[in-house]
Amino acid sequence: MQPILDATGPRMDKAVDHLREGLQGIRTGRASTSLVDSLTVEQYGQTMSIKAVATLSAPDAHTIMIAPWDKSMIPVIEKVIRETQSLGLNPGNDGNAIRLNIPPMTTERRQQLVKQVGEQIEACHVTIRNVRHDVLDEVRKLEKSGGASQDDVKYAEAELNKKIEAYRLKLEEIRRAKVAEITEV
C-alpha cells in the first residue's frame, strides 16, 4: 500500500512544477525574460525555443532584449512575438537585437491576469484531485482482488486527503505570491 501512496508525491509535484512554469509566463509589469522563454521559432526546419537561438536579457525594469545569434532570425522572432496574444507586446529592432518595451499595466489588465492566475491554480487543483482519484481506483481494485483490506483502503484515503490538503495550502501560497506580484504598482 505504501509504495502506491509514495508514488503520488512526484505526480502531484509535477503538476505544481507545471503550474509554476505557466505562471512565469504571466506578465507582471516588470521585464522578465521568462515572458518569452516558452516561445518557439522555426530555424533550419526545426522548431526551437527562443532562448536556444538568441541571448535574452532584461537591461532595465521595462525592457526585454533578444539578441539572436543569426540576424536573419530577427523577422521570424518578431512575428512570433506579435502573434502571441497573451503577451500583448509589439517588438522593435535595431538590426542587431529585438527590444520589447513592457508598458505599465492598467487596473483592468491586472484584474484579467489575477483571474488567469486563478484559472491556472484551479486547473492544478483538478490535476491533483485526479491523481488522488486514480490512486483510490487502484487501491479499490487491489481490495477487490484480495490484495488489500478495507482498513488499507481507509488508510489510503486518509493519507491521500492529508496530501491533498498540504498541496492545497502550497497552491494557495503560490497564488497569493503571484497575485501580490501582479497587483504591485
- So where are the chain's domains? 2-23+106-183, 30-101
Output phi, psi for 95, to 5 deg.
Answer: 95, -20
Beta-ladder partners of 54:
68
Beta-ladder partners of 64:
100
pLDDT tens for each residue of 40-49: 888 888 888 8
> What's the confidence (pLDDT) of residue 185?
63
Beta-ladder partners of 57:
65
> What's the confidence (pLDDT) of residue 170?
95
> What's the confidence (pLDDT) of residue 134?
92
pLDDT tens for each residue of 92-136: 888 889 998 887 778 888 888 899 999 999 999 999 999 999 999
Listing from the earlier edge strand, what are the strands of the sheet with 92-93?
A: 54-60, 63-68, 98-101, 92-93
Is 65 strand, coil or helix?
strand
What does the block give as the cell for 136? 483510490
Segments of the chain with pLDDT less than 50:
none
The b/e string for 5-21 (b: 16+ C-beta within 10 A; e otherwise) is eeebeeebeebbeebee
Q: Which residue has the cell 481507509?
A: 154
> What's the confidence (pLDDT) of residue 127?
94
Classify domain 2-23+106-183 by CATH number: 1.10.132.20
pTM: 0.69
Domain 30-101 falls under CATH 3.40.50.300: no
